[in-house]
Structure formats: C-alpha cells, structure tokens
C-alpha cells in the first residue's frame, strides 16, 4: 500500500494555490511558509489528510502580519491599560491611514522647505486649551514628566508632597523616574497631610520646581490635607502639575478629576497630561503652559529622543479637531439604554441555547483615572466557563468574572459591536 506521506503536496505547490498566494501578498512569504510547513508536518504525522494541507494552512493564518489583535472589551473598564486604553475615533483612524505613507510632517508645502514638525497638532491642542501659552507633545506621560524634570531640575531639587510619591502600573514609581533624570527629591509634609508652610520650608536655592502629582489610581480618605494649585502659585518657584488622566476641561461625570484648563487657570506654570486616557486619543504626553518653560523643554536635547512620530501627530490632531471620541461617548451613556442592549443580547443567546441573564452593574474609568467613580452600566451574565473560552476565541472577548459567573459588561462596547459580541459567544459555545 502506498505511503500516504507521498501524497503530501510540496511547498511550491501549496504556495502556488491562488488563495495561499493572495495571503502571501497580504501577510508576507515567511509567515505563510511557516504555516505551510506546519500543515505539511501534521499531514506527515497522520493528523490530517494530505488533501487538507491547503485548507489547514489557510485556517492557521492570522488576520494580519501583526500579532496585535482586536479584542472586545467587556470588562466594564473604559480605559483598560492591557487593552491599549482609549479606542480611537473614526476621524483619528482615518488620519492614521492618511499618514501611513509619505506626508508633509516636516514639509511646508507652500515654500517647499522644511517646516515645523507637528505644528498642526500643537495648534489644535492650543485651540482646545486657550489658557496654555504654548504646548509640546512627547511619546507618553512618563516621558513628559522626565523631560520636565531633566530640563528644569537636573542637578537641582524637586519639591513634592510625600503623599504624592505614587506608584502606578507595573511597579512604575514616580520618585524613581524623577531621580533617574539627575534631579533630587525634597519631600514636603506627611503621607496624609501637607500644608503650604511645608512647601515653603522645603524651598531653597537649589529648587528647580514644585511638583504636584494627582494620585489618579487611588484615594486617601479621613484625616487628610492637601494644598491646591491656587495656593502653590504663591511660592517663589515654578509649579508643575501632573494631572494624569488627560481631561482638558471639567467633566460633569468626573467632578473630582483635575483638568488642564482649570489647573492652568489656578496658576500652574506647566501641566502634564496623557493623550490616550480621558482625552480619547493616541498614546502621547502633553505639556501645556508658560511659553518660556515650554520653549526650554522643546529645545532640550532630550526632547529629540522623546518626540512622537507622524502617526501620533495625525491621530492626536484628528482627536482634538474631530467629532466626539468613543471615550467621551461612553462617559455619556444612559444605564437604561445599556439595559435594553443587554436584554436584546441575552434574548438572542437564550434563543440559541446559551443560558444568559441580565444584571445592573458598575463600570469604572480605568487607565489611572477617577478611581472613586462608579459608572452605572449593564451586563449579560453567562456561566463562568465562558470567560476563558471567549478570551481564547477566534474573535477574542475579555470579560470579567464575579461570584463564579462571567459578566459581559457593555459599558466599553459600542452598540455596533453588539452583534460581534453575540457571534463570539455562539462561536465558543
């Protein structure tokens, strides 16, 4: 009897298949060839019939040449750091596509000569925050703080309240970042209470600036005291405020969250914020404030190492100038509408034989912002086993588990993705 392994098609033959050739043009030769070899090996081991090599090759291919895949965020955390924080608006996505090729990122099309990099994005940022005399953009919030510390306080002291020496995600600590720039820290006050006189006592001839850091991922209650920016402006030193989550203006749903406009109006010389949190844009570190200070930051040698690329500039400008972002829309959601969507989804799943129910739930902002704010939401409840199945499915869904149940919270899922969520559940059942 002939050895079935002799029927395994050769690599060149598989690569010549029209569907495989089309996938090669999309994904690249190396990735396709690896998938072909894996299917051939399975056929030689008797796991699949030799005639299945082409279909198995195609079935094993990813959707793109990148390992980053779309994931439906059913956790109820609007800005989930592990999921890339803010989803971009359609305007920002279109801007990314436009900027993917050769662009005028540093070209003045009128004169044909080199132009200022990111001028349009900076103009959009200043239009959004008129209180700022100048602005600069770097690649994330930590980079913005590092640039400020290096340019304004290298070899000098930064005065910081002891209760604001915080740790954020993945063991990242603000004090360690600041001292890594060559600055020294001068602590003011105690862990739970700091007064204006504490700051005054900490000032000296080596003071580079006073730093106020918003403890955006935790809340201290009880016997506490803090000094507002409006009082810090009385000190004889520049005041730098890291507001963290990136609000440019006050938001009614987040009354305790600091914003750039108010912070500048209260007297801050420089405000640092993130672009990919409540602003709803790409990852970026935003620096807004005094023209003199921003100019020093922009001209510092480190600024070149921290500058953003054309894609970030394009997406940031589109976020600022374009329509409401998905993040802003999620913050305005009505729980009654979320419950209606959840009921529809649960009914469709029950009709297909998947046991599902609905419950009211509470979502959170996430991304190191508004830790004390609960957003009314709604969730579809499934058996706990669905959490792992959905996470590992062909169209991944990240849910949350509570009391041995899988909850699909709709707070971070736009209505146009409800059918995608339904299909993902049915695909793994």
Hey, where are the domains in the chain? 4-59, 72-84+328-428, 90-323
pLDDT tens digits, one per residue of 63-72? 888 889 999 9
pLDDT (0 to 100) of residue 217: 62
Q: Are 239 and 268 in contact (CB under 8 A)?
A: yes
pLDDT (0 to 100) of residue 336: 97
- How many C-alpha atoms does 348 have within 13 Å on its Cβ side? 16
Tokens of 42: 């399975």
pLDDT (0 to 100) of residue 79: 96
pLDDT (0 to 100) of residue 171: 73
What is the rounded (10 degree) CA torsion for 190, 193, 195, 199? 30
Separation of CA 96 from chain center: 16
pLDDT (0 to 100) of residue 388: 97
Cβ count within 10 A of residue 310: 21
Residues of the chain with pLDDT under 70: 1-4, 169, 216-218
What's the fold here for domain 72-84+328-428? 3.90.1150
pLDDT (0 to 100) of residue 424: 97
Q: Which residues pair with 277 in a beta bridge?
A: none
Query: Cβ neighbours of residue 28 under 8 Å, at least 6 residues apart?
Result: 65
pTM of the shown model: 0.90
- How many C-alpha atoms does 280 have within 13 Å on its Cβ side? 23
pLDDT (0 to 100) of residue 3: 67
378 membership: H or E segment, kind and range: strand 375-383
From the options 3.40.50.1380, 2.60.40.420, 3.40.640.10, 3.40.50.10490, give the CATH code of 90-323.
Answer: 3.40.640.10
Please tell me if the domain spanning 72-84+328-428 has the same topology as the one spanning 90-323: no
What distance in Å separates the CA atoms of residue 61 and residue 144, rounded to the nearest whole number? 39
pLDDT (0 to 100) of residue 101: 95
């Amino acid at each position: 009897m002939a050895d079935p392994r002799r029927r395994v098609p050769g690599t060149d033959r598989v690569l010549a298949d029209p569907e495989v050739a089309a996938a090669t043009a999309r994904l690249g030769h190396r990735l396709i060839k690896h998938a072909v070899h894996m299917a051939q090996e399975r056929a030689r081991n008797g796991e699949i019939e030799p005639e299945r090599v082409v279909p198995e090759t195609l079935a094993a291919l990813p959707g793109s040449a990148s390992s980053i895949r779309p994931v439906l965020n059913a956790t109820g955390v609007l800005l989930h750091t592990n999921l890339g924080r803010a989803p971009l608006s359609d305007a920002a996505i279109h801007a990314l596509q436009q900027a993917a090729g050769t662009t005028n990122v540093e070209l003045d099309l009128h004169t044909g000569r080199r132009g200022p990099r990111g001028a349009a994005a900076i103009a959009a940022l200043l239009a959004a925050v008129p209180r700022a005399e100048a602005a600069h953009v770097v690649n994330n919030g930590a980079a913005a703080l590092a640039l400020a510390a290096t340019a304004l306080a290298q070899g000098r002291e930064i005065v910081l309240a002891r209760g604001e020496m915080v740790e954020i995600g993945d063991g990242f600590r603000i004090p360690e970042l600041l001292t890594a720039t060559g600055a020294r820290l001068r602590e003011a006050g105690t862990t739970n209470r700091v007064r204006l006189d504490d700051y005054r006592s900490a000032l000296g001839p080596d003071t580079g600036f006073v730093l106020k850091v918003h403890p955006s991922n935790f809340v201290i209650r009880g016997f506490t005291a803090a000094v507002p920016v409006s009082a810090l402006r009385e000190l004889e030193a520049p005041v730098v405020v890291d507001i963290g989550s990136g609000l440019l203006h006050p938001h009614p749903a987040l009354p305790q969250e600091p914003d750039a406009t108010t912070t500048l109006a209260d007297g801050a010389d420089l405000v640092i914020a993130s672009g990919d949190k409540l602003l709803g844009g790409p990852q970026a570190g935003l620096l807004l404030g005094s023209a003199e200070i921003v100019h020093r930051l922009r001209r510092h040698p480190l600024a070149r190492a921290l500058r953003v690329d054309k894609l970030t500039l394009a997406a940031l400008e589109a976020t600022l100038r374009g329509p409401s972002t998905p993040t802003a829309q999620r913050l305005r959601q009505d729980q009654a509408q979320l419950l209606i969507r959840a009921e529809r989804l649960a009914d469709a799943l029950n009709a297909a034989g998947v046991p599902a129910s609905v419950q009211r739930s509470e979502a959170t902002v996430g991304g190191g912002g508004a830790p004390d704010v609960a957003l009314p939401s709604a969730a579809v409840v499934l058996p706990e086993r669905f959490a792992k199945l959905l996470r590992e499915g062909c169209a991944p869904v990240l849910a949350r588990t509570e009391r041995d149940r899988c909850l699909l919270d709709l707070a971070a899922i736009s209505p146009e993705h409800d059918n995608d969520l339904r299909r993902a559940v049915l695909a793994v059942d």
